Amino acid sequence: MAKPKVFVTRLIPEKGLDLIREACEADVWQAELPPTRAELLRHVHGVDGFLCLLTEQIDGEVMDEAGPQLKVISNHAVGFDNIDVGAATARKIPVGNTPEVLTDATADFAFALMMAVARRIPEAERYVHEGKWKTWGPLTLLGGELTGGTLGLIGFGRIGKAMARRALGFEMRVIYYDPGETQPSPELKANRVDFETLLAESDFISLHTPLTPDTRHMIDSEAFSKMKPNAVLVNTARGPVVDPQALYEALKEKRIFGAGLDVTEPEPLPLDSPLLGLDNLLITPHIASAGRATRAQMAWMAARNLIAGVMGERLPNCVNPQVYK
């Protein structure tokens, strides 16, 4: 029997690719950069399923171009704002994602950003390289401290809770804002507060919310005006949750202490972005889940979703289970 045809939009770790190649006739995009829109449309044509990354915008046009035989869209990410899930559901196409396996890697990275910004590690490194290190100074490169500080989590799902678990070890007070999370968390010692209270009381604010119409630019100039002057903002969620112009002004005018971003709007950030001229902003290229073991697990989960879909089985991780009703 002929193997199902699939398109994979990039080279992914072997743990996933090997499974796919065994079960399917796979067209794998080899280049470092994503396929252009035209290339994407050409390569999905006639496939039974495709595995994509968050760099690909998947809408109804892509699904229709693939054709009526399309049985699955598997995203190699936990977030799926790059996919028009409504359009997939309307066409009865299940969409898969990769939750849980990247929770710890992402929370570790958000903590690394928090610590690096608070203790000014990138600035201190530049200080050494620029020959400014002349002596030990009691006032040199002073920064904020995690211990005893208040961590405000926006979004209290899997990654938000993993942040709270880490914060316990740093003896931090944890508060969170999450309109969907109603359960108190006695074991995590985290208290639910409203958005204004979180902004006003947090020394560290870390974003762990999906990107939706409600969360787009939720951190805007009004939100920055309510934060403490020593606040550190960390974003490992999605770039557009923060208004980049408002962020620029808040950092430039030192209305908050600093920020650490693993995600930006747009991505990649152009080299002439004014954000890159700020000393109190640390930016990394969307790598919070880039642990070797984590990425292998993500590839494996995305492959399993893809293969289940093309075989007509239920996806192990499906974001639109309504398609099975």
Which residue stretches of the chain are H helix? 14-23, 37-44, 60-66, 85-90, 103-118, 121-129, 158-169, 195-201, 221-226, 244-252, 292-310
- The binder of ligand GLV chosen from 78, 153, 227, 308 (CB under 6 A): 78
Q: Is 79 in the site for ligand GLV (CB under 6 A)?
A: yes
Query: How far is the CA of 286 from the CAs of 21, 84, 106, 109, 191, in angstroms?
Result: 27, 21, 10, 10, 29
Nearest alpha carbon to residue 27 among 55, 14, 46 = 46
Residues 39-68 binding ligand GLV (CB under 6 A) are 54
Residue with Cβ nearer ligand GLV (146 or 318): 318
User: What x/- string results for residues 286 through 305 when contact with ligand GLV is judged by CB under 6 A?
Assistant: ---x----------------
**Smallest separation (angstroms) from ligand GLV to the CB of 301:** 11
Catalytic residue selected from 187, 196, 267, 313: 267
Neighbours of 5 (CB within 10 A): 17
Q: Is 16 in the site for ligand GLV (CB under 6 A)?
A: no
With CB under 6 A as the contact rule, which of the stretches 40-48, 76-84, 152-160, 187-195 interacts with ligand GLV? 76-84
Q: Is 259 in the site for ligand GLV (CB under 6 A)?
A: no
Task: List the structure tokens of 260.
Answer: 């650490």
Three-class secondary structure of residue 185 per DSSP = strand
Residue with Cβ nearer ligand GLV (78 or 88): 78
With CB under 6 A as the contact rule, which of the stretches 35-43, 73-81, 153-161, 200-208 interacts with ligand GLV? 73-81
Catalytic annotation present for 286:
yes
Task: List the structure tokens of 210.
Answer: 């999906």
Size of residue set near ligand GLV by CB under 6 A: 6
Residues 86-125 binding ligand GLV (CB under 6 A) are 102
Query: How far is the CA of 265 from the CAs of 238, 254, 289, in angstroms?
Result: 8, 21, 18
- The binder of ligand GLV chosen from 62, 66, 77, 87 (CB under 6 A): 77
Distance CA 140, CA 269 (A): 31
Three-class secondary structure of residue 120 per DSSP = coil
What is the binding site for ligand GLV (CB under 6 A)?
54, 77-79, 102, 289
Please identify every residue annotated as catalytic: 238, 267, 286
